[in-house]
Amino acid sequence: EDQVTQSPEALRLQEGESSSLNCSYTVSGLRGLFWYRQDPGKGPEFLFTLYSAGEEKEKERLKATLTKKESFLHITAPKPEDSATYLCAVQAGDSWGKLQFGAGTQVVVTP
Amino acid sequence: EAGVVQSPRYKIIEKKQPVAFWCNPISGHNTLYWYLQNLGQGPELLIRYENEEAVDDSQLPKDRFSAERLKGVDSTLKIQPAELGDSAVYLCASSLDGGSDTQYFGPGTRLTVL
H/E stretch holding B22: strand B19-24
Q: Which residue of A has its CA nearest to B103?
A: A46
Measure B102 CA to nearest chain A CA, in Å.
Answer: 8
- pLDDT number for residue B2: 84
Residues in chain A with CB shorter than 8 Å from the CB of B104 are 46
Is the pLDDT confidence value at A1 over 80?
no
Average of per-residue pLDDT values in chain B: 94
**Residue B100 — very low, low, confident or very high, per pLDDT cuts 50/70/90?**
low
B109 vs B4: CA distance, rounded Å:
12
DSSP state of A84: E
A40 touching chain B per CB within 8 A:
no
Distances (CA, A) of A103 to A4, A23, B9, B42: 8, 10, 22, 5
Answer yes or no: do A32 and B105 touch at CB < 8 A. Answer: no
**Residue B97 — very low, low, confident or very high, per pLDDT cuts 50/70/90?**
confident
Distances (CA, A) of B70 to A58, B25, B67: 39, 12, 10
Report pLDDT digits (tens) over A40-73: 999 999 999 999 999 999 999 999 999 999 999 9
Q: What value does the mean pLDDT take over residues A18-47? A: 95
Report pLDDT digits (tens) over B36-57: 999 999 999 999 999 999 988 8
Answer yes or no: do A89 and B99 touch at CB < 8 A. Answer: no
Nearest to B104 by CA among B95, B113, B96: B95
B59 vs B105: CA distance, rounded Å:
19
A101 vs A95: CA distance, rounded Å:
13
Question: Which residues on adjacent β-strands are paired with residue A67?
Answer: none
**Residue A93 — very low, low, confident or very high, per pLDDT cuts 50/70/90?**
confident
Is the pLDDT confidence value at B13 over 90?
yes
CB-nearest partner of A46 from B41, B102, B106: B102
Q: Which residue of A has its CA nearest to B10?
A: A41
Residues in chain A with CB shorter than 8 Å from the CB of B51 are none
Angle CA A77–A64–B105, to nearest 5:
100
B19 vs B17: CA distance, rounded Å:
7
- Residue A95 exposed, middle or buried by CB count within 10 Å (0-12, 13-18, 19+): middle
- pLDDT number for residue A92: 86
Q: Which residue of B has its CA nearest to A4?
A: B42
